[in-house]
Structure 1
Amino acid sequence: MVIVLNASATPEQIEKLTQELETYGCSVWPTHGQFQTILGIVGDTGKLDRDYLLSKMYVDKVLSVQEPYKKANRTFHPENTVINVDSQTIGGNKLAIIAGPCSVESREQIVGIAQDVKAAGAGFLRGGAFKPRSSPYSFQGLQAEGLELLKQAKQATGLPIVTEIMSISQLEQYHEDIDVIQIGARNMQNFDLLKAAGQITKPILLKRGLSATIEELLMSAEYIMAGGNENVILCERGIRTFETYTRNTLDLSAVLAIKRLSHLPVIVDPSHAAGLWWMVESLSKAAVAVGADGVIIEVHQDPSNAKCDGQQSIKPERFAALMNSLREIARIDNRTV
């Protein structure tokens, strides 16, 4: 349920109504706008008397929310969410550009790439320390050492770190060292991990599962938000279809659908979607054109010898050229990079 209060509602009236609603076992999530306040009500709202609520002079509307996701729902929070990360933002008019290698391989590699992508205009550094791989014989990342190298790259460039956490124990041990915690596609419905992520305040970049529907993605976000952490960024990274030419099928329509249904920021991962480096630039441009809040791109100095996903990584010079194109596309829509 959503209760829309008009501008005449005083703080005292809002507090009194909140307390009244909580006596019915409901939790209240307020959103304060310039001209109105919206109260998102979660719980057994069947006990609430809609006519009684509308009888209050400062109540404009009482709306039912039909979708199973509540806090991620745009009805609860009409304005787009903007998440602050150090001096950067994700959401709003400025595109979030996240770039770096699939995995951290050495200090020279990660610091060098961090310097290159920052010079080109990226606002965040991505890099895998803990790598979930389809084969147990593939490179699994440098683990804790890789995270330490990411921290050194941040110290050298100032770029916030985006990296994946795979388990609750890793989350508990390392979350203070990471600026944006990525929960990967394979863990999108790891509900225990999602619940644990809801207990911290760090931004969570939640990737869409391999065959997940949009509603399933939003319900996974709801798990995190229900725990109290509302700093969730959604990521479209391609879904599994009958097509085998590309690694996955990039669903750009999901960006439009999610932004209509939810207030949360949505970014696109063209590298994992295509799995082919020569598609990354065009798909990045398309993502910005349809209104994505940013992109996460794999960049490597020597893709042919990368320990992970070299075939979908672009070189720093191509990334720099791509950034110039993204600035022009963003400018058309009155956005910046």
Structure 2
Amino acid sequence: MNPNDVTMRPITGREELDLFCRLSYALNGEFPEDLARARRRPEWMWVALRGDRLLARAAWWTRPGNDTPHLLDVLDVDDGLPAHERVEVGERLLRTAAAAVLPDGAPRPEYTRFVPPGWRDDPATARPVRDRMTILERAGARLFVERLRLEWRPGTAVPGPSGRLAFRPVQDSGELLTLMAAVLEGTLDAHSREDLTRMSPREAAAAQYEEELARYPSPREWWRIATLPDGEPVGFVIPAHNTYNPVIAYIAVLPGHRGRGHVDDILAEGTRVLAAQDVPRIRASTDLGNVPMAAAFRRAGYVDFEREINMTWD
């Protein structure tokens, strides 16, 4: 590939979304609203062009109100290019865009990509996924975790209360933070485990609460504490809307109450809360290696509809 015949630049604005979307991906339909709500910025959406042909693209996403990118969630190349050129142009674009977009010395945002559940088994899906992972690896990233994305659909039966547990709203953020810190003991979640290498359980809980849960636009009245009949907490569930979908944002059982099937009752309650809102779907995710949680979602009628690849920089 002749580097002199490739132009790399950010898009000029919404008027170039059609250009940016010439490469297909599941998130394409979200870009207009993301721009309108300041989750994306044109200067964070880069393209590599040869004439008017789109060879590659990269884009970052953030939460509203943030001034810096939070995730690298778009990295695509023209899959019709020769193999060496796909990787070369993708790596060049990523390095060029990152140098312009990311603050000097700041940690690099995590990379995330949605892929089909059986992506390894189908050459037609495996090659594009591996191309993008190779680009990231050549730019210094490594695979961090693969996650299951699950979905409950209307018409799926929701079990009624078993009577073993009672449910009540969260009293205040302090109560929830105490429970969030407690459930980190023995966690199988890769992101939580990594957080605990850098901060205390209380600090990790506070960071997740402030950066994620507190930002949801849905009512906090949906959040539920699960208790024994005598009022002792055994876990909690956070049904929410993350501005894209209704989600089970967080579900957990306290260490002393694990292994007794309580997760099924807690998940059923969270599902009932959202199903009562007449939602078109409920989404959730868990690490591929978190076998007990994945099994609980499947028992509740959630189906695997996608995987998520997370890659990070050391």
Specify if TM > 0.5. no
Q: Report the structure, 1 or 2, having the larger strand content.
A: 2
Which structure would you say has the larger RCO, counting Cα contacts within 8 Å and 6 or more residues apart? Answer: 2
If the length of structure 2 is used for normalisation, what is the TM-score? Answer: 0.29
